[in-house]
Amino acid sequence: MNRHGTVTSLQQVDHSCPTCLHCEISPLEHSRPRFNAEMHDWILTLPSDKYDVTLPDTHIAIRAKILTDVSALLTWFPQNLSPFLSSLTLIYSTGPWTKDNFITAVEFFFQRNAYHPFAQCSHPQQQSDPVPPTEILQKNAETATADRKMLHYCPQHVCAGLDNFCSNRKEVNNMEFLDKSKISHTELSVYGRLSGILSRLVSSRAM
C-alpha cells in the first residue's frame, strides 16, 4: 500500500512452516513377517481425521492437515516411539497459508525471529535452531474461546523433543565477529561523541 493507495487486508502468508514428520524404515524391520500389522497398529494411535499418512517401502510420512496439529504430532511421537523407525526428519512447506493456517504461519514467523541469537536446547547436545509450533488449548468454559500456546521443539534427531530453549538465555557466545567487523568500536565511538554533546547541552542549559 502506498501513500495514496487503498487499504487491502493480507489474504495469505508464504513462509516455510513444519507440516510433516518423515521417518526412515529399517530394511531389516521391513522384512519381518509381522511388520505391516505392527505398523498398522502404531498408525491407529494417531487421530485419523487430522493427519495424512503415506507408507511406501522405505519410509513413513505423517502430514498434519492443519498447522496447529503439528504440535500434537511432535508431542505424540516421542511418547510412541517405534523400534522400526529411524532418522526422524521434520519436513517444511512454504504454503501459501490461508484460512485456519494463516495466523499460525504468522506466529511461526515472528517467534522464529524473537529467539535469542544463540538459543540452545537444554539437552546435553545443546542444539540450536528451535521450531515454534502453535498449540490450540481446550476452549475456556466462560469465554467459549480456545487459547493459543507457543511450544518450542528441538528438531535434531538426537533430541527430537519439546524444550524451552531458555537454558542459555543469560549467556553471550563468542562475539569476535563484532570485533573483526569493528562494529563494537564504531558504536562506542559514536556513543562517546554523543555523550559529550549531551553533557555540553545540559551544562549550557543549566547556566
Asked whether the beta carbons of 13 and 102 are under 8 A apart, the reply is yes
Of 150, 23, 156, 133, residue with least CA distance to 71? 133
The segment with the largest mean pLDDT, out of 45-59, 118-132, 165-179, is: 45-59
Which pLDDT score is estimated for 199? Answer: 64
pLDDT of 207 higher than 50:
no
The number of helices, as runs of H, and strands, as runs of E, in the chain is: 6, 8
Asked whether the beta carbons of 198 and 185 are under 8 A apart, the reply is no
Which pLDDT score is estimated for 2? Answer: 54
Which pLDDT score is estimated for 175? Answer: 65
pLDDT of 121 higher than 90:
no
Asked whether the beta carbons of 151 and 71 are under 8 A apart, the reply is yes
pLDDT of 3 higher than 70:
no
Better-scored residue on pLDDT, 42 or 205: 42
